[in-house]
Structure 1
Amino acid sequence: MLNLFSTFVALCALTTIQTTNAGLVKKAPIQPIMGGANFPDPAVIKTADGWHLFSTNAVVDGKWVHVQRAFTRDFKNFELRKGVDALPVLPKWADPLPRVWAPDVVRLDDGSFVMYYTVAYRARPNLHCLSYATAKNINDPFVDNSEKPWICPLEAGGAIDIAGFTDEKNGHKRWIVYKIDGNAIGHGGACGNTVAPIVPTPILLQQVAQDGHTLIGKPVEILTNIASDGPYVEAPALTYMGGKYVLFFSSQCYMGPKYDVQYAVADKITGPYKRSGRILGTGDLGLNGPGGLDVAINGNRAVFHAYVVQTPGKLEHCKNFERKSDCRYRHSKKVRPSYAVTLSMNNGVIRVAAA
């Protein structure tokens, strides 16, 4: 895997790119789905009955849920299936302290489903690996019977943020994209990777067989971090839109105000991908740090998260504070609800509108 980084140019630290908004159809603030429930790194898949959503782990009513679920029939009214775990049992090699991130679900030709996901590795719990689980029906619990990680480039920092793609324009071939988590072995600074030498965090493209998991050939690097990205690029999602292969990704620290959604386009799935601008950032649609966008494959409906600061209305311990504002600050927390939008592409420019 280290050979993948031999082409990483040392001068990239001097490279910058302008990330202006590509196009916002509606600039007024939009509201989070599901009443603002914490639902970070959302994934969405279109099925015959509607859209199914999956999310990074969360504590729900005092219990860890590895992969959260939600559903909508019309992409307007979303139902959080509170407490339901789409991946109730982790493989033995996964770290027992659950850190299950950024799931993605694809449908196979036989009607069954594969869930790709990120999980901390028991042998080196500071790093993450990629795995997959299967289910006959999308509402069934997904099962992972693996004895070892599926994709796990430990020497490069591990891997996270995997998403599937079916190339309906080119033989119905199946692919995955994921991020090499170089910042996990970075040298410090924001999100662990703004102190030189900056560690590369490339996004890789890998072909898989029709079973969704047998690897075909070697991965191809299609994007990597440059100076204007801050510590990394991450959260890749691939689709086909407007006659182009479109790669969505996020940059900057995931819980900070600079976090965003950008995109790059290519004529061929293997690239080269041309960075084409930022479509969402802080201030757009009233959002703070939007990122982690996922699009229903080859469709126009997308979901992403942004962060909000929640402060409880009633605080039992405020009597110990001179000012109630200080009390609320100490007891506030950031959560990442999800939002739903519709995407369109015209002359290579992505436009975003509230769903």
Structure 2
Amino acid sequence: MWPFSSSSWTASATATTATLGFTLVSCVLSSPVEIRAAGPWLALDTDFPDPGFVQADDGSWYAFGTNGNNKTIQVAHSPDFRSWTLLDKEVLPTLAGWETSIDHWAPDVIRRPDGHYTLYYSGEAQSDLRHHCVGTAVSSTTDPSGPYIPNPTPLSCRLPSGGSIDPSGFLDRDGSRYVVFKVDGNSIGHGGDCNNGIAPLQPTPIMLQKVSSDDGFTPLGDAIQILDRDDSDGPLVEAPNLILVGDTYYLFYSTHCYTDAGYDVRWATSQSVTGPFVKGDGTGRQLVKSGDWGLTSPGGGTVCGCGDKMLFHAFCRDGVRCTYAADLRIQGGMVEFV
């Protein structure tokens, strides 16, 4: 996430041919055989930050990560959500005219009614370098791993406010579709912690944009704010992810700077998709933080719409954010790993 590019943190890998029809990165980048009995486990032992994921028609899973391993957007596959393999495939081989070739962050993918998939991602704006827009792209086939063809117009930019990043799709019970994203206010901050530690601090609101249920990217009306940072969050809130369990909407998000030990995953709840979202005791309930299960700076989490599976990243080595998987239990407004 801003202001650093994980493209400088790429890891090399040896490729080997597999029956999936494309080349897979060697098993050193797959999850280890030993899986922890409880709590999160290492899913991808390579730089794969900000993972989003989707389930395919055959029941298997595809995860998508921020640029790394010499890919603009990365993709991994799992038959069972337990063991994961990084695919040697470029998800977004061509770019739209509005974006540069660097800093493609925090992708997420949804399945459309027509069987194709829509990809959301953050891309650097050519018109305002170091600031980003939320781009969208559509799979050329019904293969979730792509390739994806970008749409010519971004979904959101808000460049005067710092840009738009960290998109995540959400399908409501009534069939309405939304995208949540962060306004990257800390990118125009006054320095200090994540460039937003010196007063006056910039807002970093989480926005909710309704989109077409058919294509997943045509905006319907204006985006509305559903959350923002407070003093307990440090310089920012980011990495939003929205799900519905029972009659309660759960908004997952990260706080503090992703390079800091304070980076974490929290959640807020609401009885309406448009909010207000309540941060538990007023400071947000933490799902996972540094020190839990030996993790360092866990964040960038995505929770399955089914409510029982999660991927997130944490530092596993200097400058490397590996992806971790976890099973969840959500009940009565509370969330915990199982």
Q: TM-score, normalised by structure 2?
A: 0.84
Residues 45 and 297, structure 1, Cα contact 8 Å, conserved in 2: no
1:345 is matched with 330
Which of residues 160, 172, 175 is equivalent to 1:172? 175
Residues 68 and 84, structure 1, Cα contact 8 Å, conserved in 2: yes
Q: Secondary structure of the equivalent of 1:255?
A: coil
The one-letter code of the counterpart of 1:32 is L
Identity of aligned residues (%): 38
The one-letter code of the counterpart of 1:111 is G
How far did 1:48 drift?
A: 2.5
Change (3 A) 1:72 1:346: same
2:53 is matched with 44
2:228 is matched with 224
2:12 is matched with none
The one-letter code of the counterpart of 1:53 is A
2:71 is matched with 65
Greater Rg over alpha carbons, structure: 1
**Which ranges in structure 1 are unaligned for 5 or more consecutive residues?**
1-25, 310-332
Q: Secondary structure of the equivalent of 2:262?
A: coil
How far did 1:290 drift?
A: 0.3
Change (3 A) 1:30 1:279: closer
Change (3 A) 1:214 1:255: same
**Which ranges in structure 2 are unaligned for 5 or more consecutive residues?**
1-35
Moved over 6 A (4+): 26-29
The one-letter code of the counterpart of 1:279 is L
Question: What does residue range 1-355 of structure 1 map to in structure 2 within 5 Å?
Answer: 30-34=40-44, 36-49=45-58, 50-58=60-68, 60=69, 64-81=70-87, 83-96=88-101, 98-135=102-139, 136-137=141-142, 138-146=144-152, 148-167=153-172, 169=173, 171-210=174-213, 211-276=215-280, 277-309=285-317, 333-353=318-338
1:38-57: per-residue Cα shift (whole Å, max 9, x none)?
A: 11000011222211100000
Residues 207 and 223, structure 2, Cα contact 8 Å, conserved in 1: yes
Distance 2:270 2:155 in 1: 28
How far did 1:242 drift?
A: 4.1
Higher mean displacement: 235-244 or 106-115: 235-244
The one-letter code of the counterpart of 2:314 is A
Q: Secondary structure of the equivalent of 2:279?
A: strand
Whichever structure has more helix as a proportion of its residues is 1
1:79-104: per-residue Cα shift (whole Å, max 9, x none)?
A: 111x31111111122113x1100000
1:247-294: per-residue Cα shift (whole Å, max 9, x none)?
A: 000000101111000000111111111113011000111110000110
Higher relative contact order (CA 8 A, sep 6+): 1
How far did 1:298 drift?
A: 3.3
Residues 102 and 117, structure 1, Cα contact 8 Å, conserved in 2: yes
Distance 2:57 2:117 in 1: 14
Q: How many residues align?
A: 295
Change (3 A) 1:124 1:244: same
Q: Secondary structure of the equivalent of 1:217?
A: coil
Distance 2:123 2:335 in 1: 32
1:315 is matched with none
The one-letter code of the counterpart of 1:179 is K
1:225-262: per-residue Cα shift (whole Å, max 9, x none)?
A: 00111110000000012431100000001011110000
Q: TM-score, normalised by structure 1?
A: 0.80
Distance 1:343 1:106 in 2: 21
Residues 130 and 160, structure 1, Cα contact 8 Å, conserved in 2: yes
How far did 1:150 drift?
A: 2.9
The one-letter code of the counterpart of 2:52 is A
1:208-232: per-residue Cα shift (whole Å, max 9, x none)?
A: 1122111111111110000111110
The one-letter code of the counterpart of 2:84 is F
2:33 is matched with none
Residues 242 and 348, structure 1, Cα contact 8 Å, conserved in 2: no
Distance 1:308 1:115 in 2: 27
Q: Secondary structure of the equivalent of 1:57?
A: coil
Distance 1:114 1:28 in 2: 33
1:122-142: per-residue Cα shift (whole Å, max 9, x none)?
A: 121110111100013213300
How far did 1:27 drift?
A: 10
Distance 1:129 1:281 in 2: 28
The one-letter code of the counterpart of 1:226 is D
How far did 1:295 drift?
A: 1.3
Residues 56 and 100, structure 1, Cα contact 8 Å, conserved in 2: yes
1:29-83: per-residue Cα shift (whole Å, max 9, x none)?
A: 754213x11110000112222111000001x2xxx301101011111111111x3
How far did 1:346 drift?
A: 2.0
